[in-house]
Amino acid sequence: MRGWSGSRVVAGRRALRVGVLGLTVAFTSVIDVAAADPSSAPPVEASAGPSLDQSAGLVHDVVGGLGFDRPAAWALRPSDVDMRYIRVLAFVGTAPSSAGCTTTPDTMTCGTDFALQPGTVSVAIEWVHGPPARRHPFDRAADPEPGTRVVFVDGMPAIRSGWPDHAPGADAPEMQLMVPFRDSIIGGTRFRARVQGPGADVLWQQVSAMLDSVHYEPALRPTEAMDAAAAAAAAARALDQLADGDRAYACFPREPGTSRKARVRKVPSYSRLRRAAPMTCTTTIEGMPLELWHMTLTQTWTDGPGRKAGALTTTVWVGLDGEPGWTMSGGSRTNRPPYWPRRPRP
């Protein structure tokens, strides 16, 4: 389960600890509880600009399953604001940033206020579940959008944009890092940083160092490092659950790497066929660098009365516990199951 917990000084004199369960913060006496509430945070005074002096130390935080190191002078402010496709988990920095939503019977309006003042910085940490995050992380890495570059977080491709690739300005007001979720191919955790001078160059360098330190915490348990028995168990459990709610998955063998022949009236993502079709159903599963299995379900059929030979493939992303997740299936105008649609067009 995704969550965030913990802070500690990793350099310097003070030992600072913050215990967190879910998004409920339990601070020690070192930190005033009110400091976790952006609305009650004291105003930030204008300064002559930050310094790169790290003698005060770095604080290690874990937010949304990702660990990172921040300057000890920066505060961690929990947020937990759900904006439908985006969930703002926290802010890190020196500005009293906040997020919120206003609802009416017909609409919901949400926004983020970085509340920057001279010489301040703020980094929003968000879970992004919707567009433009609905791309496979490996697809994003193979074809990064203009103005972005691929970096690697514990071997996983992440997308970085902003300084120092080009100075933040009209075309790049933020520095961003998008890290894939450990257990989903859709979405990820996004860091969005903004600064205001004086001292903007120093602040951007500090933000960049913080993003460079991001890693999965606890460490990833990639399925590609697991054995065949774990893969077989995940496939069997996933198919049992899928078949329990949809007979379209009943023909697939529970043992990966095997096939079986069956007469099929229902295939994934399609309505019931006009008549049963003889098919060969095959199951394969492979590990990934993520905490996901990549299961491929294939159905093939030969030429016969009222049908042409063809094949359909369904991809199911399966969790470590065998829970089936995101599924992609379907054919095309030239490749669809035999005896479909159920009522042929006149």
263-285 pLDDT, tens digit each: 999 999 888 999 999 999 999 99
206 shares a domain with 86: yes
Q: Would you say residue 333 lies in a domain?
A: no
Stretch 78-94: mean pLDDT: 94
Q: Would you say residue 313 lies in a domain?
A: yes
171 shares a domain with 261: no
155 shares a domain with 276: no
What band does 59 get if pLDDT is binned at 50, 70 and 90?
very high
Stretch 92-113: mean pLDDT: 92
Percentage, residues of the chain above pLDDT 90 = 58
237 shares a domain with 203: no
Q: Would you say residue 69 lies in a domain?
A: yes
pLDDT for residue 163: 62
The pair of three-digit structure tokens given for residue 270, joined into one six-digit string: 């399609």
262 shares a domain with 201: no
Q: Which amino acid is at 314?
A: T
- C-alpha 8/C-alpha 72 separation (Å) is 9
- C-alpha 152/C-alpha 306 separation (Å) is 51
Q: Would you say residue 259 lies in a domain?
A: yes
pLDDT for residue 148: 85
262 shares a domain with 125: no
In the predicted model, what is the mean pLDDT of the chain?
A: 81
Domain with 228, as residue range(s), is: 224-328
248 shares a domain with 198: no
68 shares a domain with 205: yes
243 shares a domain with 199: no
Q: Would you say residue 107 lies in a domain?
A: yes
320 shares a domain with 286: yes
pTM: 0.75
305 shares a domain with 158: no
Q: Alpha-carbon torsion 179, 182, 186, 188, what sign?
A: negative
Q: Hey, what long-range contacts does 172-178 have (CB within 8 A, 24 or more apart)?
A: 172/147, 175/204, 175/207, 175/208, 175/211, 177/151, 177/211, 177/214, 178/128, 178/133, 178/140
Q: How many domains does the chain have?
A: 2
Q: Is the pLDDT of residue 91 over 90?
A: yes
Q: Would you say residue 61 lies in a domain?
A: yes
pLDDT for residue 74: 97
What band does 98 get if pLDDT is binned at 50, 70 and 90?
very high
Q: Would you say residue 158 lies in a domain?
A: yes
Q: Is the pLDDT of residue 192 over 70?
A: yes
228 shares a domain with 214: no
Q: Would you say residue 67 lies in a domain?
A: yes
